[in-house]
Amino acid sequence: MIPGNETDVVAAIEKVSPAVVSVATLRVIQESMFDAIPVRGMGSGIIFDSNGGILTNHHIVEDAERVEVLTPDGKKFHGEVLGSDAMSDVAVVRVDGENLPAVKLGDSDKLKVGQISIAIGNPYGFMLPGPAATVGVISALKRHIHVEERMYEDLIQTDASINPGNSGGPLVDSSGMVVGVNTANIPFAQGIGFAIPINAAKRIAKEIIEHGRVIRPYVGIAGLTLTREIAESYNLPYEQGVLVARVGRGSPARRGGVSAGDVILEADGTALKGWEDLQHILQTKKVDDTLELLIGRDRERGKVHVRLEEASKVIA
Protein backbone atom coordinates (compact mmCIF):
# COMPACT_ATOMS: atom_id res chain seq x y z
CA MET A 1 0.00 0.00 0.00
CA ILE A 2 1.32 3.45 -0.95
CA PRO A 3 1.53 5.95 1.96
CA GLY A 4 -0.68 9.06 1.73
CA ASN A 5 2.03 11.58 0.84
CA GLU A 6 3.42 9.24 -1.81
CA THR A 7 -0.08 8.82 -3.23
CA ASP A 8 -0.20 12.57 -3.84
CA VAL A 9 3.12 12.45 -5.70
CA VAL A 10 2.04 9.49 -7.83
CA ALA A 11 -1.29 11.18 -8.61
CA ALA A 12 0.47 14.41 -9.61
CA ILE A 13 2.81 12.55 -11.99
CA GLU A 14 -0.09 10.63 -13.53
CA LYS A 15 -2.09 13.84 -13.93
CA VAL A 16 0.62 15.78 -15.76
CA SER A 17 2.48 13.08 -17.70
CA PRO A 18 0.06 12.84 -20.70
CA ALA A 19 0.92 16.47 -21.53
CA VAL A 20 4.71 16.04 -21.25
CA VAL A 21 6.12 15.52 -24.73
CA SER A 22 9.44 14.73 -26.32
CA VAL A 23 10.94 17.50 -28.46
CA ALA A 24 13.39 16.12 -31.04
CA THR A 25 15.48 18.53 -33.09
CA LEU A 26 17.84 18.45 -36.04
CA ARG A 27 20.59 21.03 -36.48
CA VAL A 28 23.08 21.23 -39.31
CA ILE A 29 26.60 22.27 -38.31
CA GLN A 30 28.84 23.52 -41.10
CA GLU A 31 32.33 22.25 -40.28
CA SER A 32 33.86 23.58 -43.47
CA MET A 33 32.81 24.90 -46.85
CA PHE A 34 32.05 21.38 -48.03
CA ASP A 35 31.21 19.46 -44.83
CA ALA A 36 27.87 19.75 -43.05
CA ILE A 37 27.11 17.49 -40.11
CA PRO A 38 23.55 16.81 -38.91
CA VAL A 39 23.28 16.94 -35.12
CA ARG A 40 20.25 15.56 -33.34
CA GLY A 41 19.02 16.86 -30.01
CA MET A 42 16.32 15.84 -27.62
CA GLY A 43 14.49 17.38 -24.68
CA SER A 44 11.04 17.71 -23.20
CA GLY A 45 8.10 20.05 -23.57
CA ILE A 46 4.77 20.90 -21.93
CA ILE A 47 1.44 21.08 -23.75
CA PHE A 48 -0.20 24.18 -22.24
CA ASP A 49 -2.84 24.66 -24.94
CA SER A 50 -5.02 21.77 -26.12
CA ASN A 51 -4.85 23.18 -29.66
CA GLY A 52 -1.11 22.57 -29.87
CA GLY A 53 0.80 25.17 -27.84
CA ILE A 54 3.95 23.75 -26.22
CA LEU A 55 6.39 25.33 -23.78
CA THR A 56 10.01 24.21 -23.88
CA ASN A 57 13.53 25.62 -23.51
CA HIS A 58 15.29 27.99 -25.87
CA HIS A 59 18.46 25.92 -25.77
CA ILE A 60 16.57 22.84 -26.99
CA VAL A 61 15.22 24.41 -30.19
CA GLU A 62 17.94 27.01 -30.81
CA ASP A 63 19.05 26.96 -34.49
CA ALA A 64 17.00 23.83 -35.17
CA GLU A 65 16.35 23.05 -38.84
CA ARG A 66 13.56 20.64 -37.94
CA VAL A 67 11.50 20.00 -34.80
CA GLU A 68 9.41 16.92 -34.11
CA VAL A 69 7.11 16.49 -31.14
CA LEU A 70 6.33 13.01 -29.82
CA THR A 71 3.48 12.48 -27.36
CA PRO A 72 3.42 9.75 -24.71
CA ASP A 73 0.66 7.90 -26.60
CA GLY A 74 2.83 7.61 -29.73
CA LYS A 75 1.60 10.49 -31.87
CA LYS A 76 4.18 12.40 -33.91
CA PHE A 77 3.82 16.04 -34.99
CA HIS A 78 5.90 18.53 -36.94
CA GLY A 79 6.71 21.41 -34.62
CA GLU A 80 6.88 25.07 -35.60
CA VAL A 81 8.99 27.30 -33.36
CA LEU A 82 6.85 30.42 -32.87
CA GLY A 83 9.62 32.17 -30.99
CA SER A 84 12.46 31.65 -28.57
CA ASP A 85 13.96 33.80 -25.81
CA ALA A 86 17.61 33.26 -24.90
CA MET A 87 17.54 35.44 -21.79
CA SER A 88 14.90 33.36 -20.03
CA ASP A 89 15.56 30.04 -21.85
CA VAL A 90 11.87 29.82 -22.84
CA ALA A 91 10.53 28.86 -26.27
CA VAL A 92 7.07 28.23 -27.71
CA VAL A 93 6.45 25.48 -30.26
CA ARG A 94 3.16 24.98 -32.09
CA VAL A 95 1.86 21.69 -33.50
CA ASP A 96 -1.23 21.09 -35.59
CA GLY A 97 -3.35 19.26 -33.05
CA GLU A 98 -6.76 19.37 -31.42
CA ASN A 99 -8.04 18.26 -28.03
CA LEU A 100 -4.54 17.45 -26.83
CA PRO A 101 -4.05 16.79 -23.11
CA ALA A 102 -2.95 20.10 -21.56
CA VAL A 103 -1.53 20.86 -18.13
CA LYS A 104 -2.95 23.29 -15.61
CA LEU A 105 -0.61 26.18 -14.85
CA GLY A 106 -0.19 27.18 -11.21
CA ASP A 107 0.94 30.39 -9.52
CA SER A 108 4.70 30.39 -8.92
CA ASP A 109 4.44 33.57 -6.81
CA LYS A 110 2.82 31.47 -4.08
CA LEU A 111 5.63 28.92 -3.83
CA LYS A 112 7.28 28.35 -0.45
CA VAL A 113 10.66 26.86 0.35
CA GLY A 114 10.15 23.29 1.54
CA GLN A 115 7.23 22.43 -0.76
CA ILE A 116 7.39 19.12 -2.61
CA SER A 117 8.57 19.56 -6.19
CA ILE A 118 8.41 17.00 -8.99
CA ALA A 119 10.51 17.37 -12.14
CA ILE A 120 9.00 15.44 -15.06
CA GLY A 121 10.44 14.82 -18.50
CA ASN A 122 9.77 12.73 -21.58
CA PRO A 123 12.98 12.92 -23.62
CA TYR A 124 12.55 9.64 -25.54
CA GLY A 125 8.86 9.76 -26.46
CA PHE A 126 7.38 6.37 -27.29
CA MET A 127 10.83 4.76 -27.66
CA LEU A 128 11.00 4.44 -23.85
CA PRO A 129 7.38 4.79 -22.71
CA GLY A 130 6.48 6.51 -19.49
CA PRO A 131 7.66 9.69 -17.81
CA ALA A 132 11.00 10.27 -16.17
CA ALA A 133 10.39 11.90 -12.81
CA THR A 134 12.49 13.04 -9.86
CA VAL A 135 11.12 14.27 -6.56
CA GLY A 136 12.51 16.76 -4.08
CA VAL A 137 11.59 20.04 -2.43
CA ILE A 138 11.77 23.69 -3.36
CA SER A 139 15.12 24.58 -1.80
CA ALA A 140 15.31 28.28 -2.75
CA LEU A 141 13.46 30.97 -4.70
CA LYS A 142 14.50 33.98 -6.77
CA ARG A 143 17.94 32.63 -7.58
CA HIS A 144 20.03 34.74 -9.97
CA ILE A 145 22.55 32.64 -11.92
CA HIS A 146 25.22 34.20 -14.13
CA VAL A 147 26.32 31.93 -16.98
CA GLU A 148 28.82 33.33 -19.49
CA GLU A 149 27.21 36.51 -20.88
CA ARG A 150 23.70 35.82 -19.61
CA MET A 151 21.98 36.37 -16.28
CA TYR A 152 19.14 33.96 -15.49
CA GLU A 153 16.92 35.70 -12.96
CA ASP A 154 14.37 34.67 -10.33
CA LEU A 155 14.90 30.94 -10.87
CA ILE A 156 13.34 28.26 -8.69
CA GLN A 157 15.95 26.03 -7.11
CA THR A 158 15.05 22.44 -6.28
CA ASP A 159 16.94 19.39 -5.12
CA ALA A 160 14.94 17.30 -7.60
CA SER A 161 17.59 16.48 -10.19
CA ILE A 162 16.98 17.88 -13.66
CA ASN A 163 18.90 15.88 -16.23
CA PRO A 164 19.43 17.26 -19.76
CA GLY A 165 16.65 15.10 -21.24
CA ASN A 166 14.15 16.44 -18.70
CA SER A 167 14.98 20.02 -19.61
CA GLY A 168 11.89 21.78 -20.96
CA GLY A 169 9.56 19.59 -18.93
CA PRO A 170 7.39 20.77 -16.05
CA LEU A 171 8.21 21.33 -12.40
CA VAL A 172 5.05 20.30 -10.60
CA ASP A 173 3.70 20.69 -7.08
CA SER A 174 2.04 17.88 -5.14
CA SER A 175 -1.41 18.82 -6.49
CA GLY A 176 -0.29 18.43 -10.10
CA MET A 177 -0.12 22.13 -10.93
CA VAL A 178 2.80 23.23 -13.12
CA VAL A 179 4.86 25.81 -11.24
CA GLY A 180 7.96 25.97 -13.43
CA VAL A 181 9.71 24.98 -16.65
CA ASN A 182 12.80 22.88 -15.96
CA THR A 183 16.10 24.01 -17.40
CA ALA A 184 19.33 22.02 -17.55
CA ASN A 185 21.21 24.96 -19.07
CA ILE A 186 23.12 25.70 -15.85
CA PRO A 187 26.42 23.81 -16.32
CA PHE A 188 27.57 23.80 -12.69
CA ALA A 189 24.24 22.66 -11.19
CA GLN A 190 25.29 19.40 -9.51
CA GLY A 191 22.82 17.84 -7.11
CA ILE A 192 20.36 20.69 -7.60
CA GLY A 193 18.04 21.75 -10.39
CA PHE A 194 16.64 25.04 -11.61
CA ALA A 195 13.33 25.95 -13.19
CA ILE A 196 11.87 29.08 -14.75
CA PRO A 197 8.86 30.23 -12.68
CA ILE A 198 5.67 29.49 -14.58
CA ASN A 199 4.37 33.05 -14.10
CA ALA A 200 7.42 34.35 -15.96
CA ALA A 201 7.10 31.63 -18.61
CA LYS A 202 3.44 32.59 -19.16
CA ARG A 203 4.34 36.25 -19.71
CA ILE A 204 7.13 35.33 -22.10
CA ALA A 205 4.93 32.86 -24.02
CA LYS A 206 2.23 35.54 -24.40
CA GLU A 207 4.73 37.97 -25.94
CA ILE A 208 6.14 35.30 -28.24
CA ILE A 209 2.66 34.37 -29.47
CA GLU A 210 1.71 38.02 -30.01
CA HIS A 211 5.01 39.42 -31.37
CA GLY A 212 7.21 36.46 -32.29
CA ARG A 213 9.76 37.55 -29.70
CA VAL A 214 10.04 39.08 -26.24
CA ILE A 215 10.32 42.85 -26.28
CA ARG A 216 12.09 43.84 -23.09
CA PRO A 217 14.31 46.74 -22.09
CA TYR A 218 17.97 46.00 -21.44
CA VAL A 219 20.30 47.98 -19.21
CA GLY A 220 23.40 45.75 -19.32
CA ILE A 221 24.62 45.18 -15.79
CA ALA A 222 25.16 42.18 -13.55
CA GLY A 223 24.63 43.18 -9.95
CA LEU A 224 23.83 41.97 -6.48
CA THR A 225 22.04 43.23 -3.43
CA LEU A 226 24.33 45.25 -1.20
CA THR A 227 24.42 43.80 2.31
CA ARG A 228 26.16 45.05 5.43
CA GLU A 229 28.76 42.29 5.12
CA ILE A 230 29.52 43.18 1.50
CA ALA A 231 29.68 46.88 2.32
CA GLU A 232 32.14 46.22 5.16
CA SER A 233 34.26 43.90 3.02
CA TYR A 234 34.66 46.51 0.28
CA ASN A 235 34.68 49.50 2.64
CA LEU A 236 31.59 50.99 0.99
CA PRO A 237 29.83 53.88 2.77
CA TYR A 238 26.34 52.68 1.80
CA GLU A 239 23.80 50.56 3.66
CA GLN A 240 21.63 49.39 0.78
CA GLY A 241 21.39 49.42 -2.99
CA VAL A 242 22.69 47.38 -5.92
CA LEU A 243 26.41 46.72 -6.21
CA VAL A 244 27.38 46.62 -9.88
CA ALA A 245 29.55 43.54 -10.43
CA ARG A 246 29.93 43.85 -14.19
CA VAL A 247 28.86 46.14 -17.02
CA GLY A 248 28.36 44.66 -20.48
CA ARG A 249 30.55 45.81 -23.33
CA GLY A 250 28.66 48.27 -25.52
CA SER A 251 25.68 48.18 -23.17
CA PRO A 252 23.33 51.09 -22.43
CA ALA A 253 24.68 51.21 -18.86
CA ARG A 254 28.28 51.57 -20.03
CA ARG A 255 27.34 54.33 -22.46
CA GLY A 256 25.41 56.03 -19.67
CA GLY A 257 28.48 56.07 -17.42
CA VAL A 258 27.89 53.13 -15.08
CA SER A 259 31.03 51.24 -14.00
CA ALA A 260 31.75 48.02 -12.13
CA GLY A 261 32.05 48.78 -8.42
CA ASP A 262 29.35 51.48 -8.49
CA VAL A 263 26.44 51.24 -6.09
CA ILE A 264 23.04 52.08 -7.59
CA LEU A 265 21.14 53.81 -4.80
CA GLU A 266 18.01 54.93 -6.63
CA ALA A 267 16.24 54.27 -9.93
CA ASP A 268 13.81 56.90 -11.21
CA GLY A 269 13.76 58.48 -7.76
CA THR A 270 12.92 55.25 -5.92
CA ALA A 271 15.39 54.02 -3.29
CA LEU A 272 16.64 50.51 -4.00
CA LYS A 273 16.87 47.95 -1.23
CA GLY A 274 18.42 45.45 -3.58
CA TRP A 275 18.62 43.79 -6.99
CA GLU A 276 14.96 42.74 -7.07
CA ASP A 277 13.81 46.36 -6.69
CA LEU A 278 15.81 47.35 -9.75
CA GLN A 279 14.35 44.44 -11.74
CA HIS A 280 10.80 45.42 -10.79
CA ILE A 281 11.39 48.99 -11.99
CA LEU A 282 12.88 47.71 -15.26
CA GLN A 283 9.76 45.63 -15.84
CA THR A 284 7.70 48.85 -15.90
CA LYS A 285 9.94 50.45 -18.55
CA LYS A 286 9.83 50.22 -22.32
CA VAL A 287 12.50 50.13 -25.00
CA ASP A 288 13.88 53.66 -25.65
CA ASP A 289 12.76 54.87 -22.20
CA THR A 290 15.36 56.66 -20.10
CA LEU A 291 16.24 55.28 -16.68
CA GLU A 292 17.62 57.77 -14.16
CA LEU A 293 20.06 56.19 -11.72
CA LEU A 294 21.56 57.69 -8.59
CA ILE A 295 25.07 56.23 -8.40
CA GLY A 296 27.40 56.03 -5.42
CA ARG A 297 31.06 55.86 -6.43
CA ASP A 298 33.58 55.86 -3.63
CA ARG A 299 32.10 58.57 -1.38
CA GLU A 300 30.59 60.68 -4.11
CA ARG A 301 27.07 60.55 -5.54
CA GLY A 302 25.77 61.54 -8.92
CA LYS A 303 22.97 60.86 -11.39
CA VAL A 304 23.35 59.18 -14.76
CA HIS A 305 20.77 58.64 -17.48
CA VAL A 306 20.61 55.32 -19.34
CA ARG A 307 18.60 54.94 -22.53
CA LEU A 308 17.22 51.41 -22.58
CA GLU A 309 17.55 49.21 -25.65
CA GLU A 310 15.75 46.07 -26.76
CA ALA A 311 17.46 43.09 -25.17
CA SER A 312 17.08 40.74 -28.13
CA LYS A 313 18.94 43.18 -30.39
CA VAL A 314 21.82 43.54 -27.94
CA ILE A 315 22.16 39.88 -26.85
CA ALA A 316 22.32 37.51 -29.77
Q: How far is 74 from 97, CA to CA, in rounded Å?
A: 14
Q: How far is 161 from 119, CA to CA, in rounded Å?
A: 7
Active-site residue set: 59, 89, 167
Task: Give 313's Cβ-side CA count (13 Å radius).
Answer: 11
Q: How far is 149 from 248, CA to CA, in rounded Å?
A: 8
